[in-house]
């Protein structure tokens, strides 16, 4: 990276465009069911985390998002995600057989420099899942990623925090990724 990097400053238009395309390609991989390819967007030391959200009195609002080390929707490494993906390939993962239809919509992307080689990128998602005949789930939430910009300019997600906009999960499971 030759350009001057200012931490917390929004990235320039070209990099913003590349990040957006990176997310759109990620969404395509998930919706096409190419989970093994999807896994490759992550760095080896990945932390993939989706905390629980509880209703708290306003004066205790700081506690409304679960912390690391507590029960969570996802608390994953690259290895544990690989484990989940291998399950789908077993041919006996009945909860996704026949597979659901999903559409991952990604928007509200803001990318800032977190360090000279890392970006902090926030985005919003709306994931639609339609399953079997009429089962329909909508998962809404936001993501905060730490994305490493590699020497060759490609991206690797090192950390992803997913914040679902829910208290009780209004679906019978989380069998897609976000």
Partner 1 sequence: MSDCTSHTSEANASIGRMSRPEAFTQNIDVSTLVDSDGGLIDRSIYTETSIYAQEQRRIFARSWLFLAHTSQFKKPGDFFTTFMGEDPIIVTMDKTKTIRAYLNSCRHRGVRLCRADAGATKMFTCTYHGWSFDLAGALQSVPNEKAYPEDFDRKQWGLIEVPNVQSYKGLIFGNWDKDAQSLEENLGDMRYYMDAMLDRDPEGTEVMGGVMKWTLEGNWKLAAEQFATDWYHVNMSHASALMVLSPTGRGPKAEIAATPGRQFGSENGHGAGFPTHPKSRFDARPVHEYYDYEALRERLGDAAVEGPMTTGHATVFPNFSYLPVNGSIRVWHPKGPDKMEVWAWVLVDKSMPDEVKDAQRLYNLRTFGPSGIFEADDGENWSEIQAISHGFVTNNVPLNFQMGIGSERNDGTYPGQTSELYSDAAGRAFYRHWSKQMNTPAWHERTEQA
Closer to partner 1 by Cβ: residue 25 or 86: 86
- CA separation for the pair 18, 24 (Å, rounded): 10
Q: Which stretch binds partner 1 (CB under 8 A): 22-30, 78-86, 106-114, 119-127?
A: 78-86
67 near partner 1, rule: CB under 8 A: yes
- CA separation for the pair 9, 52 (Å, rounded): 30
57 near partner 1, rule: CB under 8 A: yes
DSSP H or E segment with residue 18: helix 13-31
How is residue 86 written in tokens? 């291998």
User: Hey, which residues between 104 and 163 contact partner 1 (CB under 8 A)?
Assistant: 135
167 near partner 1, rule: CB under 8 A: yes
Closer to partner 1 by Cβ: residue 1 or 170: 170
- Kindly tell me which residue out of 2, 13, 44, 90 binds partner 1, with binding defined by CB under 8 A: 90
- CA separation for the pair 77, 49 (Å, rounded): 9
CB 100 within 8 A of CB 129: yes
Angle CA 96–83–32, to nearest 5: 45
Tracing tokens 């093994």 back to the chain, one arrives at 36
92 near partner 1, rule: CB under 8 A: yes
39 near partner 1, rule: CB under 8 A: no
Question: Where does this chain bind partner 1 (CB under 8 A)?
Answer: 51-52, 54-57, 60, 63, 66-67, 69-76, 80, 83-84, 86-88, 90-96, 135, 167-175
């Amino acid at each position: 990276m030759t350009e001057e990097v200012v931490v917390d400053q929004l990235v320039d238009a070209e990099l913003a465009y590349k990040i957006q395309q990176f997310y759109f390609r990620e969404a395509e991989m998930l919706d096409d069911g190419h989970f093994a390819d999807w896994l490759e967007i992550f760095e080896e030391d990945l932390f993939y985390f989706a905390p629980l959200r509880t209703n708290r009195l306003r004066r205790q609002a700081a506690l409304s998002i679960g912390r690391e080390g507590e029960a969570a929707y996802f608390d994953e490494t690259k290895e544990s995600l690989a484990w989940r993906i291998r399950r789908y390939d077993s041919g006996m993962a009945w909860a996704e057989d026949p597979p659901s239809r999903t559409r991952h919509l990604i928007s509200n992307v803001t990318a800032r420099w977190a360090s000279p080689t890392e970006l902090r990128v926030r985005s919003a998602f709306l994931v639609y899942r339609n399953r079997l005949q009429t089962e329909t789930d909508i998962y809404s939430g936001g993501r905060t990623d730490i994305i490493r910009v590699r020497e060759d300019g490609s991206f690797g997600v090192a950390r992803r925090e997913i914040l679902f906009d829910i208290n009780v999960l209004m679906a019978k499971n989380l069998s897609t990724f976000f």
